[in-house]
Amino acid sequence: MDRLTEMEAFATVVDQGGFTDAAKKMGISKSAVSKHISSLEARLGARLLNRTTRRVSPTEIGLAYYDRARRVLSDAGEADALVASMQSAPAGLLRLSVATDFGVNHLSPILGDFLQQFPDITVNMVLNNRYVELISEGFEWPFAWAIWKTAACARAN
């Protein structure tokens, strides 16, 4: 069986005070929780829970294991959350070179909303009407230049 699942079952039984409530909390059957606990105790070679007909409580070893298990589960949850946040929330510096008219008339009005939606992004917008070397000058978004260049070509035709 999976160690983290066993730990989670054990910690949930301790937190909830019994197998039935732990099963409800975890969304699995009471017998599945019992199997996880039995597997954990067999793997560790120690009894972690005192069981009576009315209640379940951790043994002394169980209490020590519970403290560590909670930390491990918390760390695992934080690791999962970190990956999720790194995938879903863009962050960092976005350096833009934008034609002055386009930046003032089109980007500036929507930049505030963009920064509210993505608070971990810092925007460095340089307004100019010259050709820039995107890579050597450290710019990351050629889209604004492409629109400016396309508009300039359209005016020339």
101 and 46 share one domain: no
102 and 149 share one domain: yes
How far is Cα 148 from Cα 78, in angstroms, rounded to an integer?
44
**Domain CATH for 118:** 3.40.190.10
Number of independent structural domains in the chain? 2
pLDDT over 50 (residue 102): yes
78 and 7 share one domain: yes
25 and 68 share one domain: yes
What is this structure's pTM? 0.58
Domain boundary among 39, 59, 87: 87
Q: What domain range includes position 138?
A: 89-156
Q: Quick one: pLDDT at residue 89?
A: 73
Give strand pairing partners of 127. 98
pLDDT over 80 (residue 57): yes
Q: Please enumerate in sequence order all residues whose Cβ is within 8 A of that of 106, keeping only pairs 6 or more positions apart, or say none.
A: none
Instruction: Report CA-CA distances (Å) from 52 to 17, 38, 49.
Output: 12, 15, 10
pLDDT over 90 (residue 140): no
108 and 123 share one domain: yes
C-beta atoms surrounding 9 within 10 Å: 27
Q: How many residues does the chain have?
A: 157
**Domain CATH for 77:** 1.10.10.10
**3-state DSSP assignment of residue 17:** coil
67 and 102 share one domain: no
> For residue 48, what pLDDT band results from cuts at 50, 70 and 90?
very high
Domain boundary among 38, 63, 87: 87
- Of residues 36 and 99, the one with the higher pLDDT is 36
Q: Please enumerate in sequence order all residues whose Cβ is within 8 A of that of 103, keeping only pairs 6 or more positions apart, or say none.
A: 96, 125, 127, 144
67 and 121 share one domain: no
CA triple 120-76-57, angle to 5 deg: 135
